[in-house]
Structure 1
Amino acid sequence: MKKKNIKIVVAMSGGVDSSVTTWLLNKKGYNVEGIFMKNWEEDDNHHDGYCASWKDLKDAQAVCDSIGILLHKINFAEEYWNNVFKKFINLLKTGITPNPDVLCNKEIKFKELLNFVLFNLKADFMATGHYVRRVERKKKFFLLRGIDDHKDQSYFLYHLNQFQLSKCLFPIGNLKKRQVRIIAKKYVQVVAKKKDSMGICFIGPKKFTNFLSRFIKSSPGNIISKKGQVIGIHSGLQNYTIGQRRGLKIGGISKGNGKAWYVFKKDVKKNILFVVQGNNNISLIYTGIIVINVVWINKNPVNKTFNCTVKTRYRQLDVYSKVQVISSHLVEVRFSEPVLAICSGQSAVFYDKHICLGGGVIKRGFMLHK
């Protein structure tokens, strides 16, 4: 089939990565269209800085106009609220720290949006600006890390199945971020200097606490050291995660050994935040994890026990581990070396070198010493 007869719709965010993705596919001669997905309603009448989708839409439209292609618009605010945000909030209330980006990709971008692109817009493929690669070997699809180790996003896409991979393209997965910026500067100038977005689009890092207070009632409580001393007041347990150092506001107290304080436990029933000193404190060290809701990209492991590397946070380096399959969606992982600050609700993703095998949600960790 000639390239001009292959229809590819690009999920456009108004950012550099999806804009360069669109330009690259159009340059190669495919029949390219863009689609802008809106997931949050409030910013229509309240430009409060949480989400500026109107601004991102304007940028996406400008890119499409400069290339000379059509831009579709779709609103999944209701689906996002019901299938992502409500779950996110409810889990936060229980003391867990979920990963909304993983959930959004699973429930919205590669489900609702992909289905709309394939069945409503009659596209052959959907493309995104993710830094990952996909390859086909013997009629099976594999998800690979992006070439750029610092930008690889396979951690967020471990849930993709064979059908989704067969219908998705990731054109910038073979590029370094600096190469993408160079292309943008030369050919997609309207977004060339735009900063990368991080996390949920409408929650900026500095406004996270204020935003959550609109959905979860803040209940201040005691911050207690491992020795049982009350050393501060927290603003609400939903605002903290295991291993967190910043924002505790107890750095200047005289108690302790002078080292920085870190969150190591949350007691939701008693509304207590427990902290210890030093990032290598034994209370922050884990030897393994239980992972639930596990999915495998290709097929379930043949062996009940196998070795691979595991990533328990996006920015964390992989750690060699032994994985024991308890059931098809439940595994136990034992690390070859201690891992700091395991956080229930975050994703654990499994790798065989550059191949992403799959992943799941961390149920709990095994502490080195209780």
Structure 2
Amino acid sequence: MIEYAALKFNVASIPMSESPKKVIVGMSGGVDSSVSAWLLQQQGYQVEGLFMKNWEEDDGEEYCTAAADLADAQAVCDKLGIELHTVNFAAEYWDNVFELFLEEYKAGRTPNPDILCNKEIKFKAFLEFAAEDLGADYIATGHYVRRADVNGKSRLLRGLDGNKDQSYFLYTLGHEQIAQSLFPVGELEKPQVRKIAEDLGLVTAKKKDSTGICFIGERKFRDFLGRYLPAQPGKIITVDGDEIGEHQGLMYHTLGQRKGLGIGGTKDGSEDPWYVVDKDVENNVLIVAQGHEHPRLMSVGLIAQQLHWVDREPFTGTLRCTVKTRYRQTDIPCTINALDDDRIEVYSGEVCLCLLQRRSLPGRRHYRAATAADGLIIQYTTSFKSPQSGLKDEVYFI
């Protein structure tokens, strides 16, 4: 038996009227959305579910689990006694997420489709459909984040489970979207969520967490990408200008990558591995450096653009905070200096800002990892002679 009073989640912070508020939960067929629906029921909300189908190109069972996920979502809704709606956002996903995903790869950048998917599908198309077609007061998802309403604005906060916190993927959400969204599992840890599902006898209790591209599923990425972007082989050269191999397409390679380059070999007898340090998109050249400690893999700063501040107006001075440039990366103390309205310089006293955890990737999102989640897109990284000197040695445009 679940002791509800012992569960600490912040859904109750939203005032309830005499008539229950209607919440549409995005039911993915996973354990997090399943438990979210139950938690909202315990709060007295009128709960219904919505299953979204967003991919139709090759939705066979080998890659896409939509049919099985829908069956699980339906089983959970039946167990909880709530209605399940279905909707197809495949056209919106293609136009607003997948085409941009391909354009970013064409440009030699490494996009994060989950961030764009959240912005355009889960918290736009879904939110609008739930409000306009289903009469919802709120939507809810199984994301491990929290919200706080301060001075009339809704802020996005980290989930309490540091291993599952997903605020990194939601930094593009605005106050209006957050204000209409509930995140019931954000106050819980994953083992608690699974325990609740198990105690309730939900079919999703032990279901594996989903991975892969948002709504597309797990697949061999090179083969998948090659179906939409023709491969363009080109030269692999070292930072010294020596040609040492051939790549099958810049889109298949990421800055900091070590495996899959197809070049073993040595330089001057060295057996150190090679790493991708740059892409010359105009000339279709992949640039590599040898050795984990090569200077071209190190950076203590970056210039970023397309800023998105979730809970504040753009600042014009200096800000001390922490930063992460990829999901699950350890927070790093940094200083942010405003360059203009849409660009900032991020500097850390640690060389590991961009690598030793692999160099930050242009196109990847930078995350102000304080209480609220803000973000931006990396334009290029900077290298310095040393963290102590502060003297700029060179700037690598990537």
Q: TM-score, normalised by structure 1?
A: 0.92
Distance 1:179 1:246, change over 3 A: farther
Match of 1:113 in 2: 126
Rounded to whole Å, the distance in 2 between the matches of 1:355 and 1:315 is 16
8 Å CA contact retained: 1:300, 1:328: no
SS of corresponding position for 1:179: helix
1:344 aligns with 2:362: yes
Rounded to whole Å, the distance in 1 between the matches of 2:218 and 2:170 is 22
Aligned residues: 365
User: Cα offset for 1:290?
Assistant: 1.7
Identity %: 50
Match of 2:85 in 1: 72
Match of 2:27 in 1: 12
Q: Structure 1, residues 71-100: CA drift from partner, whole Å, max 9, x if none?
A: 111111111111111111011111111111
8 Å CA contact retained: 2:109, 2:362: yes
Distance 1:32 1:205, change over 3 A: closer
Residue among 144, 149, 153 paired with 2:162: 149
Residue among 38, 47, 53 paired with 1:32: 47
8 Å CA contact retained: 1:222, 1:230: yes
Mapping for residues 1-370 of structure 1, pairs under 5 Å:
1=16, 5-44=20-59, 46-49=60-63, 51-201=64-214, 207-251=220-264, 253-255=265-267, 257-338=270-351, 339=353, 340=355, 341-352=359-370, 354-356=371-373, 358-368=374-384
Rounded to whole Å, the distance in 2 between the matches of 1:318 and 1:280 is 21
Q: Structure 1, residues 145-201: CA drift from partner, whole Å, max 9, x if none?
A: 111111111111111111111111111111111111212222253112211112414
More deviation, 213-222/273-282: 273-282
- AA in 2 matched with 1:364: Y
User: Cα offset for 1:221?
Assistant: 2.2
- AA in 2 matched with 1:355: A
Rounded to whole Å, the distance in 2 between the matches of 1:326 and 1:94 is 25
Rounded to whole Å, the distance in 2 between the matches of 1:289 and 1:89 is 24
8 Å CA contact retained: 1:223, 1:275: yes
Q: Structure 1, residues 200-222: CA drift from partner, whole Å, max 9, x if none?
A: 14555651111000000011222
Q: Structure 1, residues 270-299: CA drift from partner, whole Å, max 9, x if none?
A: 222112223332101112112111111122
Rounded to whole Å, the distance in 2 between the matches of 1:221 and 1:147 is 46
- AA in 2 matched with 1:242: L
- AA in 2 matched with 1:120: D
Rounded to whole Å, the distance in 2 between the matches of 1:176 and 1:31 is 25
Distance 1:10 1:105, change over 3 A: same
8 Å CA contact retained: 2:113, 2:214: no
SS of corresponding position for 1:269: coil
User: Cα offset for 1:347?
Assistant: 0.4
Rounded to whole Å, the distance in 1 between the matches of 2:184 and 2:139 is 11
- AA in 2 matched with 1:367: S
Q: Please list every run of 5 or more consecutive structure 2 residues that lacks an aligned counterpart in the other structure.
A: 1-15, 385-392
Distance 1:277 1:82, change over 3 A: same
Q: Structure 1, residues 107-140: CA drift from partner, whole Å, max 9, x if none?
A: 1111111111122211111111111111122322
Distance 1:69 1:4, change over 3 A: farther
Distance 1:206 1:257, change over 3 A: farther
Q: Structure 1, residues 5-34: CA drift from partner, whole Å, max 9, x if none?
A: 111111111111111111221233321001
User: Cα offset for 1:301?
Assistant: 4.1
- AA in 1 matched with 2:332: V
Distance 1:13 1:337, change over 3 A: same
8 Å CA contact retained: 2:266, 2:272: no
SS of corresponding position for 1:343: coil
Rounded to whole Å, the distance in 1 between the matches of 2:258 and 2:18 is 52
8 Å CA contact retained: 1:4, 1:30: no
SS of corresponding position for 1:5: coil
- AA in 2 matched with 1:91: E
Distance 1:260 1:141, change over 3 A: same
Rounded to whole Å, the distance in 1 between the matches of 2:159 and 2:348 is 24
8 Å CA contact retained: 2:145, 2:165: yes
Q: TM-score, normalised by structure 2?
A: 0.86
8 Å CA contact retained: 2:139, 2:181: yes
Higher strand share: 1
SS of corresponding position for 2:142: coil
Rounded to whole Å, the distance in 2 between the matches of 1:204 and 1:36 is 16
